[in-house]
Amino acid sequence: MTATTAYQDCSCSEYAQYSTPQVWFALFTEYDHGTALSNGHIALSHVRQPVWVIVFTDVPTAASGGGGLPGTAPQQPLVVNQYVLTVVADATSRPLLQVDGEPDSVALAPPPTSGP
């Protein structure tokens, strides 16, 4: 797979109207999903999996949050410009994850894990 085919397979081309995609090859470990093992440890679903990361910036996205107070008129959600990040598996061309939000100002350390 190449950066071009990763982009074609990412199901994210609608964001190209807002910015030029940045594409990187990376090794992906996801700490949010896994399988509980009989010994009480968690086997993570993706550990150092080869992937393509596709990032768009300045994508207008409706802000999330709670609904209005009872008895108040509905309000339009605030639109904010965010990053959209898609992770595509190198071996299968399958999108694994897509998130939007603002990046952290400083990279966060991964959580401790007892991995597979």
Q: Which amino acid is at 16?
A: A
- Which single residue is written with the structure tokens 């190198």? 90
Does residue 37 sit within a domain? yes
Domain range for residue 81?
3-66+74-101
Dihedral sign for Cα atoms in the order 26, 29, 35, 37: positive
Please give the share of the chain, as a percent, with pLDDT higher than 70.
Answer: 91
Task: List all residues 6 or more positions away from 35 whose beta carbon is below 8 Å from its beta carbon.
Answer: 42, 43, 45
Contact 98/12 with Cβ under 8 angstroms?
yes
Does residue 116 sit within a domain? no
Residue 7 DSSP one-character state: H
The pTM of this model reads 0.76
The count of structural domains within the chain is: 1
Weakest mean pLDDT among 25-29, 66-70, 88-92, 96-100: 66-70
On the question of pLDDT at 116 being above 70, the answer is no
Contact 55/62 with Cβ under 8 angstroms?
no
